[in-house]
Amino acid sequence: MDSTHLFALALALAWLAGLRVYLTVLALGLTQLVGYAELPPALAVCASPWVLGVAAVLTVVEFSADKIPGVDSLWDLLHTVLRVPAGAWLAGAALAEPGGDLSGLGLLAGGVTALLSHGLKSGGRALINTSPEPASNWAASLGEDAVAVTALLFVVQYPLPTLLVLLSLGLLLVAGCVWLLRSLRRRPRGASTKPA
């Protein structure tokens, strides 16, 4: 993999860690385990049975917690301290020289990227939680699951296109959050959403 593709892989993994950290680590470990693609050597730790087991259990817990309004926002708040460093580590490991230390540039770029995707996810979910019905929360959560799984299927083989798609989806999410915030501000205080 050339340096452009490695850098794209690093940023895409960091972005996905900001969205679904446990699923990202689990997918990387399984990729290593089944030999789907050759990953940078520093990411080999993801294929450890212990890492795979813990990531699998926490993926199921996160999948469940993310569907409950209010719990999802608390989960996101608590995971701010995990998703950003995990994204930084994944990017640093992806860009590490074989047998060398983690890449400093990868750590920095990965941390910033994971912070951006995590901020978009948690900010968007906080706005969605203002809706009184649970369907929007479920739809957002399942959409995030679908984006993460789909991106993880392609990120190792096609890192640059995957990164571009993730960034485009991020821009759409920003536009959607701005639209939702504006529509919430335009609604008169105390106005009922029920027809008269």
**Residues 137 and 70: beta-carbon distance below 8 Å:** no
Instruction: Note the pTM of the prediction, 2 decimals.
Output: 0.85
Q: What count of Cα atoms within 13 Å lies in the side-chain half-sphere of residue 175?
A: 6
Report residue 196 CA to chain centroid gap: 42
pLDDT at 130: 73
| Count of helix runs (H) and strand runs (E) in the chain | 6, 0
* Integer CA distances (angstroms), 172 to 98, 121, 167, 176, in order: 37, 12, 9, 6
pLDDT at 196: 46
* Per-residue pLDDT tens listing for the chain (196 residues): 678 888 999 999 999 999 999 999 999 999 999 988 878 889 989 999 999 999 999 999 999 888 887 788 888 888 889 999 999 999 999 999 887 788 899 999 999 999 999 998 888 887 777 776 667 778 888 888 888 889 988 998 899 999 999 999 889 888 887 887 787 777 666 554 555 4
Structure tokens at 156: 């190792």
